[in-house]
Amino acid sequence: MSGPAFSSGAPGVSPRATMHHLIRGLWISRALWVAATLGIADLLEEPKDAAELSHVTGTHGPSLRRVLQALCSVGVLTQDDAGRFALTPVGATLRSDAPGSVRAWASMVLGGETYQAWGALMHSVRTGGIAFDHLFGQDVWQYRTGHPEYARLFDDAMTGLTAGIAPAVAEAYDFGAIGTLVDVGGGHGELLAVLLQVSPRMRGVVFDLPHVVAGTGPFLARAGVLDRCDVVGGSFFDGVPAGADAYILKSIIHDWDDESATAILRSCRRAMSPRSILLLVERLLPTMIESSGVSETVTFSDLNMMVMNGGRERTEVAYRALLDAAGLRHARTVPMSVGFSVVEAVPA
C-alpha cells in the first residue's frame, strides 16, 4: 500500500514545493478534524462510498467525498475503482477502539477551543501571555471545570495518548521492586493499569481532580486491576497521598510554568519518605534543534504548552534545576523507545 505522494525534503522535491506542503498543513489538519469528529474511521470496518458515509453522518455527500479524497492524497484513506473508501494503517489510528486511539486528540487539538487558541499564537509571541487565557478570559483548567464536554474530550484524549506510550514506560523502567505506586495526575488510570498488569505484586493509587477520577473505577475494573488500586480525588497543589514507595507523573510538569511546576514537585516531596522515588515521564527538549521528527514533535508540543496553558517542554538540565528547587535530586534518566524519557529523582 503506497503512502502519501508528497514527502517534505524527499529527493527531487523543491524547497518551494516543500514550503507549499507545510502551508497546506492547516488544510490537512482541518480535514482530519472533520473525519475524527464525524467518526469516519469507526464507520470504515469495510470499504464504503461517500453516499453511504454521508447518509450515516448526516452530511452532504459530494462535499464529504471531496474531503475523503483529500485524505487519500495524504495517506489516511485509500479509494478503490468502485469509489469506495478504506482505511490505511495511518487512518486506522483514528478508530475509537484502536490501541492508543488518537481520535479524541485529533478532535480536541484540530478544532474548537484549541483551534481558536492557536489562532491567537501571535498574542503569545507579542506579549508572552497565554493565548487561551486571552481568548476565553480564564485559564484552561478553570474552563474545563465549567465546560464538561470539553473536559470529557480532554480526558479521552489523554487516555488515548497515554495508552500509546504506557507499554514503553513498562518496558523502559523496572517497577518490580515497587510496593505502592501513586500516579499523580493519573486521569482515568490508563498508565497505572498497564504498570499494575506487568507488576502483579504492586499496588497503585490514581490521584487526580475529583471530576477526573469519577470515571476511573470502571476503567480499572475492565483492566482487571481495581482490586489492587485505590482512587483518590484532590489537587496536587494541596498535597498527594503520602508514604508510597514511588510517585509517577506522566506529562504533568510540562503543563506548568517553573513556579507552578516546582510547587507540584514540592507537594510530592512532602509526601515522600526518605526511600521514595519520583518518576517524571516527559519529552526532553534537545539542547540542539535540528530538522527531524524528534525535534518537530517536542518543539511543537512546546508551542502548544505556550498557547494553551503557559507550560513548556524542558531540557534535562532544566528538569534537574526544578528538582533541585523542590528538594529532590536527579538520579538518572532512562530513554524510552517512543520519544519520551523517565527522569528518576530521590529526596535530596
Q: Which three cell numbers stand for residue 282?
A: 516527559
Q: How far apart, in whole angstroms, are the C-alpha atoms of residue 205 and residue 219?
A: 14
Up-side HSE of residue 180: CA atoms within 13 Å toward CB?
16
d(CA 236, CA 29): 34
Among residues 261, 216, 258, 213, the alpha carbon closest in space to that of 237 is found at 261
CB 43 within 8 A of CB 54: no
Beta bridge partners of 42: none
Element (H, E) at 267: helix 258-271
State the helix-helix crossing angle for 15-23 and 25-38, rounded to 10 degrees. Answer: 40
Q: Can you say whether residue 30 is alpha, beta or left, with left for phi > 0 and alpha for psi between -120 and 50 degrees?
A: alpha
Among left, alpha and beta (phi > 0; psi -120 to 50; other), residue 190 is: alpha
For residue 322, give the nearest of 343, 301, 304 by alpha carbon. 343
The answer to whether 254 is a known catalytic residue is: yes
- The closest alpha carbon to 185, from 141, 143, 130, belongs to 141
Catalytic residue among 21, 134, 147, 254: 254
Taking each helix axis from N to C end, the angle separating 148-172 and 190-198, rounded to the nearest 10 degrees, works out to: 30
Long-range contact list for 116-121, CB < 8 A, 24+ apart?
A: 117/307, 117/308, 118/304, 118/307, 120/307, 121/303, 121/307
What positions carry a catalytic annotation?
Answer: 254
